[in-house]
Structure 1
Amino acid sequence: MSKADVIFKAMCRDILENGTDTKDEIVRPIWEDTGEKAYTIKQFGVVNKYDLREEFPALTLRKTALKTAMDEILWIYQRKSNNIKDLKGHIWDEWADENGSIGTAYGYVVGEKFEFKGEMIDQMDYVLKQLKETPYSRRIMTNLYQFHDLATGHLDPCCYSATYNVTKDKNSDKLVLNMVLNQRSQDILAANNWNVCQYAILLMMVAQVNDMIPGQLIHVIADAHIYDRHVDIIKELIERPELPAPKVYLNPEVKNFYDFTTDDLIVEGYEAGEQIKNIPIAV
């Protein structure tokens, strides 16, 4: 059975049983349809661990659109775009202006140049360079939370930093690439497995172009919350049966990070429960 399902169920039960209700707090989000305040049950400091050497961490309780998730991660880290016209999905439409821009956020921040050892470089190229030249460095990361960009960005990043760390595989002479993903806030129903799968794919891509094994993905969520309108949906979801995880891998012919497309993601045997449609989203 999918280990991601087990982790997801345990996290949701912990939030519902031990979390803090924000109904008496002053909250920012509202429901798009009514304008009413959107309250949550939240848990602080959730840490989930996934090992990509064991299986790909896709939920089977309901299906995650893996190719769409990959397209978004390519939009941010490969295309380094802040314009939704460069994106196939419509998740970001709410934050885009009339020209499609989300301002100085996400891909814009990744693509900002900075000086490193006399060379002008951006965050993703810095990661790729460091993994090639000094793979055991403890300083290999991207950070989308740049304070000088927040005022002109249309939203603050939720997943804001990815720290890469290399270890050795005990059964071969290959290196293992691991990642810690830090997230300041997460809507568990709408985004949890979406973000997990996105960064698992990113880890797989970066590992492949460096001839490394994708290893552990550690997901740290500061504020993990379930919205009030989502509680009954979550309760139904975590009672669903767990199915075997799908097999997910990349086209092995791709050796350059900037050559990946969603066609290079191969998904086999992905069975899942009925999709949940029309999830209310707080904005």
Structure 2
Amino acid sequence: MLRHPEYQYLDIMSHLLEKGDRRMDRTGEGTLSTFGAMMRFDLSDGSFPAFTTKKVFWKTAVKEMLWFLTGQTNIQSLLKENVKIWTDWPLAAYRKATGEEISQDLFEKRVLEDDAFAAKWGDLGPVYGKQWRRWLDRNGVEHDQIGALIHSLKTNPTSRRMLFHAWNVGEIDQMALPPCHMTYQFHVSGLQRGSGRPQLSMLVNQRSCDIFLGAPFNICQQAALLAMVAQQVQMDRGELIWVGGDTHLYLNHLDQAKEQLARKPMPFPKLVLTRQPDEIDGYRIDDFEVVGYQSHDRIDAPVAV
């Protein structure tokens, strides 16, 4: 019997608990860290790697990915979808700049209701979506990396240059948070088979990964991205390969990690795309149907900002 693919994730977390390098970090919380981790997920049968040893709110993860694909950088549109995962950074900036100890709920309410306030305090700077869809070169020309990728997949699928990334050195200091999942590279196999459709695989390079809170979220949204791109270029899903640079477990997540490690994975659900939009940024959350997702209960843990 094949080992459940979720054990790849659990093995990384177990390794961190046993052998992780204890160190201080930017947030002041401290971590157990390792360098260089890998997970591979075969999505060819429609599997969707929403981890099961704790509940993953996959809709929130996919909504964030859809937001990236639009090229937007302001949390107002996220909050309209009830996605609050980016609020911590602009809230901290507002409190520091104004000295006002505003609550998160009130800050989000003001961003939602006041466009001028949102424009000033809700923007995250040139984060993922800006770089993916509107990378600005030194001549002032914007480059749509996602559009170029899809064009290459359709016209030159054996290219070794089918990738996009967000590590724009000249704009990192303007970002609320430098990109963690930096590079997405694509590979097409089965072009010479003579029958059936080719398979599209994707490799994600993540320079920094919060293994307890971040990884489950990132993996399922990246699987959703692979499904969308494959549909757009008339290919089948292949493998999602994830490579982590500084992969770490925060010291205030240790008990939660031990609780999760005591649980046994359940079968992964399947992902069905119920519609094919004309463009990659035309997907909506209602286009995603996740069938058969069962999981253990959620495990709460604080976010390190």
Task: Return the TM-score normalized by structure 1.
Answer: 0.89
1:261-281 C-alpha deviation (Å, 9 max, x unpaired): 11000011111101113x111
Aligned counterparts of 2:135 and 2:16: Cα–Cα separation in 1: 40
Unmatched runs of 5 consecutive residues or more in structure 1: 30-36
User: When the two structures are aligned, how many residues end up with a matched partner?
Assistant: 268
Structure 1 residue corresponding to 2:215, chosen from 192, 217, 221: 192
Task: Give, as a single letter, the amino acid of the residue that structure 2 aligns with 1:218.
Answer: I
Unmatched runs of 5 consecutive residues or more in structure 2: 95-116
1:211-238 C-alpha deviation (Å, 9 max, x unpaired): 1011111101001111111111101101
1:32 aligned partner: none
1:34 aligned partner: none
SS at match of 1:3: coil
1:78-108 C-alpha deviation (Å, 9 max, x unpaired): x111011121211101223652100111111
**In the alignment, does 2:274 pair up with 1:282?**
no
Q: Kindly state the Cα deviation for residue 28 of structure 1 after the two structures are TM-superposed.
A: 1.5
Matches within 5 A, 1:30-109: 37-54=28-45, 55-77=47-69, 79-87=70-78, 88=81, 89-96=83-90, 98-99=117-118, 100-109=122-131
1:125-146 C-alpha deviation (Å, 9 max, x unpaired): 1111111111111101111000
Identity within the alignment, %: 32
1:173-231 C-alpha deviation (Å, 9 max, x unpaired): 31111111010111111111110111110000000111101111110100111111111
Instruction: Indicate if the aligned counterparts of 2:201 and 2:226 stay in contact, CA closer than 8 A.
Output: yes
Task: Give, as a single letter, the amino acid of the residue that structure 2 aligns with 1:155.
Answer: L
Q: Which has the higher helix share?
A: 2
Aligned counterparts of 2:255 and 2:296: Cα–Cα separation in 1: 16
The 3 A distance-change label for structure 1 pair 108 and 229 is: same
Task: Give, as a single letter, the amino acid of the residue that structure 2 aligns with 1:28.
Answer: R
Moved over 4 A (4+): none
Q: Kindly state the Cα deviation for residue 248 of structure 1 after the two structures are TM-superposed.
A: 1.5
Task: Give, as a single letter, the amino acid of the residue that structure 1 aligns with 2:86.
Answer: W
Structure 2 residue corresponding to 1:158, chosen from 180, 196, 221: 180
1:9 aligned partner: 10
Aligned counterparts of 2:34 and 2:212: Cα–Cα separation in 1: 14
Task: Give, as a single letter, the amino acid of the residue that structure 1 aligns with 2:175.
Answer: G
SS at match of 1:237: helix
Q: Kindly state the Cα deviation for residue 56 of structure 1 after the two structures are TM-superposed.
A: 1.8
Aligned counterparts of 1:148 and 1:120: Cα–Cα separation in 2: 14
**In the alignment, does 2:184 pair up with 1:183?**
no
